[in-house]
C-alpha cells in the first residue's frame, strides 16, 4: 500500500508499506496559548505487522500554513520515499526480562491474576447493582489492559517464542 503527500502541487513524500499493517496520514492543527505553541503540520506514519514483530515508520513532517492545499492520494503498490525513522518492537527499551524462565514465570502469574479478576467480576455482577458492576468492570478492564501493555507485550517483544498463536501478526 502507498500514500502520497502533495502540498500546493509539490510532492513531499510517498509512504509505502509492503505486507500487512497500516498507513495513516494526519493534518494536525494545534494552538496552545498558555504554552505559546502553535503548529500546523502534516505527517504520515505506518506500522508493518510481521508475525512476531511490529515495525513502525515515520516520514518527514511538513509544516503547512492557512490557505495551503494538502492532498493525499492512494497509490498502487510500489516503492516509496525512505522513512526518516524506523523502530522495531524487539528493540524497544521497555522490553522485559532477559531470562526466559523468569519471563515464563511472570506470564503464569499474570495469567492467574487475569483468571482471578474475571472470577471476581462474575461474582460482582451477581452481588452489585448494575451501575456499581459497570464501574468495577471498567476498573478491572483498565487493569487488564495495562497488564498487557506493561508486562505481557514487553515480554512477548523480547521472547518471540512465548507469543501465543492468537497474537502472532498483531501489533506488539
The alpha-helical segments, DSSP class H, found in 4-65 are: none
Q: What is the pTM of this model?
A: 0.62
Which residues span the domain enclosing 18? 2-91
pLDDT at 121: 95
**Do strands 54-58 and 62-63 pair parallel, antiparallel, or not at all (unpaired)?**
unpaired
What pLDDT is recorded for position 94?
Answer: 81
Dihedral (CA of 148, 151, 152, 158) sign: positive
Separation of alpha carbons 30 and 42, rounded Å: 12
Instruction: Say yes or no: 65 and 118 in one domain.
Output: no
Q: Residue 170: which H helix or E strand, with range? A: none
pLDDT digits 0-9 by tens, 29-88: 998 888 888 889 999 999 998 777 789 999 999 999 999 999 999 999 999 999 999 998
* Same domain assignment for residues 34 and 115: no
Within a domain: residue 136?
A: yes
Question: 117-146: per-residue pLDDT in tens?
Answer: 999 999 999 999 999 999 999 999 999 999
What DSSP element (H or E) covers 17?
Answer: none
pLDDT at 98: 85
Class of residue 163 by CB neighbours under 10 A (exposed 0-12, middle 13-18, buried 19+) = buried
pLDDT at residue number 172: 64
Query: Is 84 found in the same domain as 109?
Result: no
Query: How high is the pLDDT of residue 31?
Result: 86
- pLDDT tens digits, 1-35: 999 999 999 999 999 998 889 999 999 999 888 88
Containing 94, the helix (H) or strand (E) segment is none
| pLDDT of the residue at 14 | 96
Residue closest to 10 by CA, chosen among 59, 66, 75, 69: 69
Q: Which residues contact 170 (CB under 8 A, 6 or more apart)?
A: 49
Report whether pLDDT(157) > 90. no
| C-alpha–C-alpha distance, residues 63 and 60, integer Å | 10
How many Cβ atoms from other residues are within 10 Å of residue 7's Cβ? 16
Same domain, 118 and 145: yes
Condensed to tens digits (0 to 9), the pLDDT of residues 81-108 reads: 999 999 988 888 788 888 999 999 999 9
In a domain, 149, yes or no: yes
Please state, in angstroms and as integers, the Cα–Cα distance from residue 35 to each residue in 32, 38, 39, 61, 70, following that order: 6, 9, 12, 21, 27
Domain count of the chain?
Answer: 2
Using pLDDT thresholds of 50, 70 and 90, give the confidence band for residue 171.
low
Amino acid at each position: 500500500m502507498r500514500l502520497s503527500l502533495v502540498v500546493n502541487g509539490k510532492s513531499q513524500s510517498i509512504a509505502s508499506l509492503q505486507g500487512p499493517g497500516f498507513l495513516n496520514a494526519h493534518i494536525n492543527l494545534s494552538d496552545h496559548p498558555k504554552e505559546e505553541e502553535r503548529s500546523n503540520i502534516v505527517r504520515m506514519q505506518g506500522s508493518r505487522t510481521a508475525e512476531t514483530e511490529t515495525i513502525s515508520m515515520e516520514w518527514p513532517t511538513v509544516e503547512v500554513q492557512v490557505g495551503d492545499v494538502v492532498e493525499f492520494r492512494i497509490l498502487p503498490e510500489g516503492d516509496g520515499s525512505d522513512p526518516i525513522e524506523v523502530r522495531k518492537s524487539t528493540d524497544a527499551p521497555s522490553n522485559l526480562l532477559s531470562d526466559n524462565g523468569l519471563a515464563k514465570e511472570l506470564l503464569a502469574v499474570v495469567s492467574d491474576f487475569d483468571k482471578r479478576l474475571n472470577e471476581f467480576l462474575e461474582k460482582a455482577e451477581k452481588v452489585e447493582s448494575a451501575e456499581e458492576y459497570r464501574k468495577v468492570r471498567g476498573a478491572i478492564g483498565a487493569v487488564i489492559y495495562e497488564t498487557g501493555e506493561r508486562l505481557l507485550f514487553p515480554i512477548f517483544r523480547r521472547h518471540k517464542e512465548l507469543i501465543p498463536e492468537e497474537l502472532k501478526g498483531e501489533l506488539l
